[in-house]
Chains A and B, each alone.
Chain A
Amino acid sequence: MSLIKEPDYGTPARPGEAAVAVEIDGKEVLVPEGTSVMRAAAEAGVDIPKLCATDSLEPFGSCRLCLVDIDGRKGTPASCTTPVAPGMKVRTQTPKLAELRRGVMELYISDHPLDCLTCPANGDCELQDMAGVVGLREVRYGFDGENHLDEPTDSSNPYFDFDASKCISCSRCVRACDEVQGTFALTIEGRGFASKVAAGAGGSFMDSDCVSCGACVQACPTSTLQERSVVELGMPNRSVITTCAYCGVGCSFKAEMRGDEVVRMVPYKDGGANEGHSCVKGRFAFGYASHPDRRLKPMVRERITDPWREVEWEEAIGHVARRMLDIQAQHGADSIGGITSSRCTNEEVYAVQKMVRAAFGNNNVDTCARVCHSPTGYGLKQTYGTSAGTQDFKSVSKADVILVIGANPTDGHPVFASRMKRRLRQGAELIVADPRRIDLVRSPHIEAAHHLALAPGTNVALVNAFAHVVVTEGLVDREFVEERCEDFETWERFIARPEHSPEAVADITGVPADELRAAARLYASAPNAAIYYGLGVTEHSQGSTMVMGMANLAMATGNIGREGVGVNPLRGQNNVQGSCDMGSFPHELPGYGHVSDDAVRTVFETLWGRTLQSEPGLRIPNMFDSAIDGSFRALFVHGEDIAQSDPNTHHVSAALSALELVVVQDLFLNETSKFAHVFLPGTSFLEKDGTFTNAERRINRVRPVMAPKTGKHEWQIVCEIAQAMGYPMKYDNAAQIMDEVAITTPTFAGVSFDKLDRVGSVQWPCNDAAPEGTPIMHMDGFVRGKGRFVDTVYVPTEERSTRKYPLILTTGRILSQYNVGAQTRRTGNVAWHTEDVLELHPHDAEVRGIRDGDTVALASRVGETSLRARIDDRMPVGVVYTTFHHPITGANVVTTENSDWATNCPEYKVTAVQVALKQAASAPSAPVPVPAVVE
């Protein structure tokens, strides 16, 4: 495959019917009203020269290269800023236009280095291309006049350089930062000839608000903003379209390669989730895949105190199979199990759960979604009938009010956050419910109408009060409810009770009643109101209740079943949705059919040739408990670091230590592998062949750009273990696994690699009824028939602040790091987040004698750790916050065994803690926490 270059139409597409007829160079074309002449020309197959225009940005009209001649119009208007008009006749090539364009280019080139042959952008430079297009042959002004050729290069960013000497001041970078990313970190400083791009207040890129999303680099038409990997490795020569391996947004990228080496990852314009945008992780942080820490050979040891011994695949697989069978023979069929990974493909996950169900012969399979979005699965299935978000990402562009609860999209889901911010800049109203004043509350050109800084653990009281206002103030969409829902009257009586009023819950939530009422009215009165939520909803003792509470609220106000509305989980990892879809939960087979359902089980039993268990298996926390009580003896851990990511580290460590056999399959040795007896090296996303399913149910292809560095695909290894255990399980390729998924899983019935290669991506359900997929669910009716209202009683968490532990710790993530950090800590992203820090309010710091940068002890009733303090009034008094990206900090040493009542999802968001000064930053012997280095 050669290098893919998507067509650039110069200006964005306009919505609406193609009803305006224009003639361009004698070619007729129909385009929607508002379309630029430049875009209409491009759609007619006529390329107009351009420099400041690109179709991801609104037209700007600064370069004057795109001038055209229009019948009946004076002068030569810029085609990018001139909208079409009915009957317009345009000429793009005349002697006069050619002369004008050459003149423009002559001026540009007179102040540009003539180093094309040694320039990193040679061959990928629009300035170079345009010089050729306009036929520039000489620069009459010479090169000795005043110029910018000695402007310095800013290399402060770990991933790209800013070479100001090559800048043509087209403002594309500035506009990309504003319009695409929404950060507004760049500007044009100065006037006239002195105009130049400046980051922030004129300092370096690293010192500015730049979030390194790469939009400016992508927009730059020259080598001014250039990936350092291109400078070092040269221009790529082939592209492979694949899917990012980080968050649940699931961005499509072109992996641009030289041979087997990735030169850069460029966001793909036709990617349904991201439409050409990216964040710092997906765009730049792929170096972990070739990091020297990667293990490429299987390893075995008898005891976890023994050194690892590298072995061949055959020995490793045989060892795993033999030990698993021995343990089952001694302790019973249910004494072993496995954990699937949301970082792995659907096909890999399907293979692991099949191995557990068919080869292990039990349902002891669970997934890391247990510790993040299992309440989403429970809550949305109870109310709507399916375990998935209702909308596609594009839907946010039609929302009038956006309610963000327990999510921090600018850090956790940055590419979706950019979409959301674009809509907010267009005028949509924003309500944020979060204890912290997250960036979205107030950022350039965005200000939340309401920031409901509720106390951690009081989500259900808050959402009930929202619904109370809706019900008692006549804001129910009666027509929707009567036609589409059931159990409303019971719920209406329940929610109208006085204990749910904003006034009654104000002391619980800490949110003033007036503000909550105003927010509820805003949400309920909007033509389109959408809820977006994250782990701040699910990782609570009432996570499932809260999901049902939000589902109730959306139904009561009729905000389901069309664009611009819905209940939308922002999934943490890239394939959380897919790992759940593929039957990773111990009670559900692929497609969410319950294991006790004979009809569902029969489908799989017939195909797999094994009788399957009809009882649910162990969830991850149950596996830990059962390991300690001795009834569970062996665990296959696929691509997860449960010893770092799961709560109450001491308990997890005790459980892992109690197991007779721990098998870890991963890229790197990690915290969990310290307890492992077998290490099976895994493949990075650059080697995988399969699919990921993102938070909008979009199934995207993950295409290998190189062969597995380990010699085997992960699904192959799983199959070989199953075979060695006596169960015939074989596929020739990953496409065959998806074909089996399509046979067994009704919502995937129309999915195949062939279709995905043909149409790009599909959103499930994808079947005969919806062969191209389903962007928005529940449009004509809920999956379960009628939407079901469920009473959501607020039950306070048992985790309370006490005299000994007076603060509440809540945990989260940061933009530059991902999950346990195994990937991002091995990239240049450590430039931004070298350690986990504890954020606390100035008051809480003051009374403890803590200053910014001091090392503090963080203790809960289950453990203690230490980390550096960051004093920040974004925190409310009484609440502290940290991340869990670095194992050296071990934030989960302090989190507890509390969990969601319905799903056992851990209550990461509420832990009673105390914070004490351990070592002042100014002390001469102050310890300096360092980024964790996994051995």
Chain B
Amino acid sequence: MTNAPNSAHIRLANEIAVQFRHRDPATAAEEIAVHIRTFWDPRMRARLIADAEAGNGELDPLIVSVASLLPPPVVR
């Protein structure tokens, strides 16, 4: 557990993953992607996608698969 703000999105994403882990991975990934698209600010989404693409080991594997389902947001 960490207080570092730059990992807040990772922490939250991983917590979401735990809530959906009982579903089959494909369904879980889809539902999490919908959740993140619905509720997350684009800059958090962008960071998550970047972390997933960079292979950030802190990310839950389920979230890595979610990241590929997220459209890249336009950060203004």
B19 A617 Cβ-Cβ under 8 A: no
Cβ-neighbour of B39 out of A332, A616, A629, A862 (below 8 A):
A616
Bound together, the chains give a CA A758 to CA B19 distance in angstroms of 48
Bound together, the chains give a CA A795 to CA B22 distance in angstroms of 11
Per-residue CB contact flags for chain B residues 44-76 toward chain A (1 = under 8 Å, else 0) read 100000000000000000000000000001111
Per-residue CB contact flags for chain B residues 1-35 toward chain A (1 = under 8 Å, else 0) read 10101101000100110110111000000000001
Q: Does A599 contact B (CB under 8 A)?
A: no
Cβ-neighbour of A618 out of B1, B16, B19, B41 (below 8 A):
B41
Per-residue CB contact flags for chain A residues 604-641 toward chain B (1 = under 8 Å, else 0) read 00000000000111110110111011010000000000
Smallest Cβ-Cβ distance to B42: which chain A residue: A615
- CB contacts (< 8 Å) of B37 on chain A: these are 596
Cβ-neighbour of B41 out of A615, A624, A628, A899 (below 8 A):
A615
Bound together, the chains give a CA A541 to CA B44 distance in angstroms of 20
Cβ-neighbour of A616 out of B12, B15, B16, B40 (below 8 A):
B40
User: In residues 638-661 of chain A, which contact B (Cβ within 8 Å)?
Assistant: 648, 651
Cβ-neighbour of B15 out of A364, A618, A901 (below 8 A):
A901
Q: Does A791 contact B (CB under 8 A)?
A: yes
Bound together, the chains give a CA A615 to CA B12 distance in angstroms of 19
A625 B8 Cβ-Cβ under 8 A: yes
Bound together, the chains give a CA A904 to CA B36 distance in angstroms of 12
Per-residue CB contact flags for chain A residues 565-603 toward chain B (1 = under 8 Å, else 0) read 000000000000000000000110000001010000000
B15 A625 Cβ-Cβ under 8 A: no
Bound together, the chains give a CA A191 to CA B66 distance in angstroms of 77
- CB contacts (< 8 Å) of A793 on chain B: these are 19, 21-22
- CB contacts (< 8 Å) of B74 on chain A: these are 615
Q: Does A311 contact B (CB under 8 A)?
A: no
Number of A interface residues in the complex (CB < 8 A): 38
* Shortest beta-carbon distance from B47 to chain A in Å: 9
- CB contacts (< 8 Å) of A617 on chain B: these are 41
The interface residues of chain B, by DSSP majority, are classed as helix
- CB contacts (< 8 Å) of B16 on chain A: these are 901-902
A333 B3 Cβ-Cβ under 8 A: no
Cβ-neighbour of B35 out of A618, A791, A902 (below 8 A):
A902
Smallest Cβ-Cβ distance to A333: which chain B residue: B76
Q: Does A129 contact B (CB under 8 A)?
A: no
The interface residues of chain A, by DSSP majority, are classed as loop
Q: Does A334 contact B (CB under 8 A)?
A: yes
Q: Does A798 contact B (CB under 8 A)?
A: yes
* Shortest beta-carbon distance from A911 to chain B in Å: 13
Known contacts A545-B19, A793-B19; A616/B38 CB under 8 A: yes
A586 B41 Cβ-Cβ under 8 A: yes
Known contacts A615-B73, A897-B3; A795/B41 CB under 8 A: no
Bound together, the chains give a CA A596 to CA B37 distance in angstroms of 9
A791 B41 Cβ-Cβ under 8 A: no
B19 A621 Cβ-Cβ under 8 A: no
- CB contacts (< 8 Å) of A899 on chain B: these are 12
- CB contacts (< 8 Å) of B73 on chain A: these are 615
B41 A616 Cβ-Cβ under 8 A: yes
Bound together, the chains give a CA A332 to CA B76 distance in angstroms of 6
Cβ-neighbour of B75 out of A334, A494, A904 (below 8 A):
A334
B40 A904 Cβ-Cβ under 8 A: no
Known contacts A334-B76, A793-B19, A901-B16; A621/B8 CB under 8 A: yes
Bound together, the chains give a CA A594 to CA B16 distance in angstroms of 20
- CB contacts (< 8 Å) of A795 on chain B: these are 18-19
Cβ-neighbour of B19 out of A586, A629, A901 (below 8 A):
A901
- CB contacts (< 8 Å) of A542 on chain B: these are 19
B76 A622 Cβ-Cβ under 8 A: no
A628 B75 Cβ-Cβ under 8 A: no
A862 B12 Cβ-Cβ under 8 A: no
* Shortest beta-carbon distance from B59 to chain A in Å: 15
* Shortest beta-carbon distance from A626 to chain B in Å: 7
Bound together, the chains give a CA A332 to CA B16 distance in angstroms of 29
Bound together, the chains give a CA A629 to CA B8 distance in angstroms of 11
- CB contacts (< 8 Å) of B1 on chain A: these are 798
- CB contacts (< 8 Å) of A364 on chain B: these are 41
Residue among B21, B40, B41 with the highest chain A CB neighbour number at 10 A? B41
Bound together, the chains give a CA A415 to CA B67 distance in angstroms of 48
Smallest Cβ-Cβ distance to A796: which chain B residue: B18
User: In residues 884-901 of chain A, which contact B (Cβ within 8 Å)?
Assistant: 897, 899, 901
- CB contacts (< 8 Å) of B19 on chain A: these are 542, 545, 793, 795, 901-902
- CB contacts (< 8 Å) of B44 on chain A: these are 622
A862 B15 Cβ-Cβ under 8 A: no
User: In residues 839-896 of chain A, which contact B (Cβ within 8 Å)?
Assistant: 862
Smallest Cβ-Cβ distance to B36: which chain A residue: A616
Bound together, the chains give a CA A470 to CA B15 distance in angstroms of 29
Cβ-neighbour of A629 out of B3, B6, B18, B22 (below 8 A):
B6
- CB contacts (< 8 Å) of A494 on chain B: these are 22
- CB contacts (< 8 Å) of A901 on chain B: these are 12, 15-16, 18-19
* Shortest beta-carbon distance from B2 to chain A in Å: 9
Bound together, the chains give a CA A861 to CA B76 distance in angstroms of 36
Bound together, the chains give a CA A457 to CA B6 distance in angstroms of 26
Smallest Cβ-Cβ distance to B8: which chain A residue: A625
B43 A626 Cβ-Cβ under 8 A: yes
- CB contacts (< 8 Å) of B35 on chain A: these are 902
Bound together, the chains give a CA A699 to CA B23 distance in angstroms of 41
A334 B3 Cβ-Cβ under 8 A: no
A651 B3 Cβ-Cβ under 8 A: yes
* Shortest beta-carbon distance from B20 to chain A in Å: 8
Residue among A624, A625, A791 with the highest chain B CB neighbour number at 10 A? A625
Smallest Cβ-Cβ distance to A798: which chain B residue: B1
- CB contacts (< 8 Å) of A791 on chain B: these are 22-23
- CB contacts (< 8 Å) of B15 on chain A: these are 541, 901
Smallest Cβ-Cβ distance to B23: which chain A residue: A791
- CB contacts (< 8 Å) of B41 on chain A: these are 334, 364, 586, 615-619, 622, 626
- CB contacts (< 8 Å) of B43 on chain A: these are 334, 618, 626, 631
- CB contacts (< 8 Å) of A545 on chain B: these are 19
Per-residue CB contact flags for chain A residues 796-826 toward chain B (1 = under 8 Å, else 0) read 0010000000000000000000000000000
- CB contacts (< 8 Å) of A586 on chain B: these are 41
Bound together, the chains give a CA A315 to CA B5 distance in angstroms of 35
Per-residue CB contact flags for chain A residues 897-921 toward chain B (1 = under 8 Å, else 0) read 1010111100000000000000000
Smallest Cβ-Cβ distance to B40: which chain A residue: A616
Bound together, the chains give a CA A795 to CA B41 distance in angstroms of 25
Smallest Cβ-Cβ distance to B15: which chain A residue: A901
- CB contacts (< 8 Å) of B23 on chain A: these are 791
* Shortest beta-carbon distance from B39 to chain A in Å: 5
- CB contacts (< 8 Å) of A651 on chain B: these are 3, 5
Smallest Cβ-Cβ distance to A622: which chain B residue: B41
Cβ-neighbour of B5 out of A334, A541, A625 (below 8 A):
A625
- CB contacts (< 8 Å) of B21 on chain A: these are 793
* Shortest beta-carbon distance from B22 to chain A in Å: 5
Bound together, the chains give a CA A594 to CA B34 distance in angstroms of 13
B39 A587 Cβ-Cβ under 8 A: yes
- CB contacts (< 8 Å) of B38 on chain A: these are 587, 594, 596, 616
- CB contacts (< 8 Å) of A897 on chain B: these are 3, 8
B5 A629 Cβ-Cβ under 8 A: yes
- Where the two chains meet, the residues of B that have a C-beta atom closer than 8 Å to any C-beta of A are 1, 3, 5-6, 8, 12, 15-16, 18-19, 21-23, 35, 37-44, 73-76
A-B CB contact pairs (8 Å), 9 listed: A594-B38, A615-B41, A616-B40, A622-B41, A791-B22, A899-B12, A902-B35, A902-B39, A903-B39
In the complex, the 4 A-B pairs of residues with the closest C-beta atoms, listed nearest first? A625-B5, A901-B15, A628-B5, A618-B41
- Where the two chains meet, the residues of A that have a C-beta atom closer than 8 Å to any C-beta of B are 332-334, 364, 494, 541-542, 545, 586-587, 594, 596, 615-619, 621-622, 624-626, 628-629, 631, 648, 651, 791, 793, 795, 798, 862, 897, 899, 901-904
Extra contacts, 10 of them, besides A541-B15, A596-B38, A616-B39 (Cβ < 8 A), are A334-B43, A615-B42, A615-B74, A618-B41, A621-B8, A622-B44, A628-B5, A648-B3, A791-B23, A798-B1
